[in-house]
């Protein structure tokens, strides 16, 4: 059982977290190079957000969604 747990420890410490260790060492050498990754992830997130908003606007302009004035149909008559 101890060998299994040592194997899991090795897997996570040496294999799975290797990119994080490399990034940590890079940050000590050159902060700007390490920060490029943060800016890259922020740019990807911003691009995904803009794409999603454009898709929502496209569907909104096509009137593909049923919109009710009330939150539940049993509270008022359907006026569409």
7: tokens are 């194997």
Q: Is the pLDDT of residue 73 over 70?
A: no
Look at residue 29 and tell me if it is in a domain. Answer: yes
Look at residue 80 and tell me if it is in a domain. Answer: no
pTM value? 0.56
Tell me how far apart the alpha carbons of residues 79 and 67 are, in angstroms, rounded to a whole number. 10
Q: What is the pLDDT of residues 2-26, one digit of tens each?
A: 999 999 999 999 999 998 898 888 8
Domain that holds residue 61: 2-66
Q: Quick one: DSSP state of residue 74?
A: G
pLDDT for the residue 23 = 86
Give the number of other Cβ atoms within 10 Å of residue 42's Cβ. Answer: 10
Domain count for the chain, please give it. 1
Look at residue 48 and tell me if it is in a domain. Answer: yes
């Amino acid at each position: 059982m101890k060998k299994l747990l040592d194997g899991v420890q090795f897997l996570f410490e040496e294999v799975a977290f290797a990119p994080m260790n490399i990034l940590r060492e890079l940050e000590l050498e050159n902060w700007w190079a390490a920060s490029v990754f943060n800016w890259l992830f922020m740019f990807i997130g911003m691009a995904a957000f803009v794409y999603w908003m454009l898709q929502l606007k496209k569907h909104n302009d096509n009137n593909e969604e049923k919109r009710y004035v009330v939150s539940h149909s049993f509270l008022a008559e359907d006026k569409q």
